[in-house]
């Protein structure tokens, strides 16, 4: 692990947040590590009333545009693999009005990671053509939206 990067991430507030409280420093699968932290935080966020959850999504998405863009700029690397704030927000989008229970946490996790990793159209288009902080955030927001739709369809199918 790059000790200088670790020191920078752990001591600079913008990097610390963009790197998901340090979870993006994982030497293997930092996006997955970041999503695991997002799951843990979701357990707290799931207690919010719907309107507060929606506001939280908007605020964290907007903050992510700044945090990810600024961290990327300071590092001189567009969308550094360790920047995982976008995974946080993408997973939280996936879990919007999700059924409660451990199974749904896992299903949401798997669906989000699949869409985030595979990047089917139009996710791949936005990933390649939108730059800066918005570019870092938008593909994960769309992946989260696709995962959300799939999760809701599965939940409806289970309920029927």
Each residue's pLDDT tens digit, 45-82: 999 999 999 999 999 999 999 999 999 999 998 889 99
- Percent of the chain at pLDDT > 90 equals 90
| Strand ranges (E), 2-97 | none
The domain total for the chain is 1
Q: Would you place residue 155 in the very low, low, confident or very high pLDDT band (cuts 50, 70, 90)?
A: very high
The tokens describing 73, both together, are 């700029």
pTM: 0.95
pLDDT tens digit sequence for 4-22: 888 888 899 999 999 999 9
109 SS3 class: helix
Greatest alpha-carbon pair distance for the chain in Å reads: 53
Instruction: Count the helix, strand and coil residues of the chain and give each as a percent rounded to the nearest 5.
Output: 75, 0, 25
Q: What domain range includes position 59?
A: 3-159
pLDDT tens digit sequence for 83-104: 999 999 999 999 999 999 999 9
- Which of 110, 107, 108 minimizes the C-alpha distance to 118? 110
- Cα 96 to its chain centre, rounded Å, is 13
Question: Could you give the CA distance from residue 81 to residue 121 in angstroms, rounded to a whole number?
Answer: 21
- Percent of the chain at pLDDT > 70 equals 99
**What is the reported pLDDT for 29?**
95
């Amino acid at each position: 692990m790059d000790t200088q990067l670790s020191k920078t991430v752990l001591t600079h507030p913008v990097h610390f947040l963009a790197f998901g409280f340090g979870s993006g420093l994982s030497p293997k699968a930092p996006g997955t590590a970041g999503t695991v932290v997002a799951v843990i935080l979701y357990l707290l966020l799931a207690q919010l009333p719907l309107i507060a959850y929606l506001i939280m999504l908007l605020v964290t998405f907007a903050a992510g545009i700044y945090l990810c863009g600024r961290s990327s700029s300071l590092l001189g690397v567009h969308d550094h693999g360790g920047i995982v704030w976008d995974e946080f927000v993408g997973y939280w989008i996936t879990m919007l009005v999700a059924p409660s229970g451990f199974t749904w946490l896992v299903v949401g996790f798997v669906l989000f990671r699949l869409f985030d990793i595979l990047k089917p159209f139009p996710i791949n288009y936005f990933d390649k053509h939108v730059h800066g902080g918005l570019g870092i955030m938008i593909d994960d927001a769309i992946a989260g939206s696709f995962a959300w739709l799939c999760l809701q369809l599965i939940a409806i199918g289970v309920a029927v």
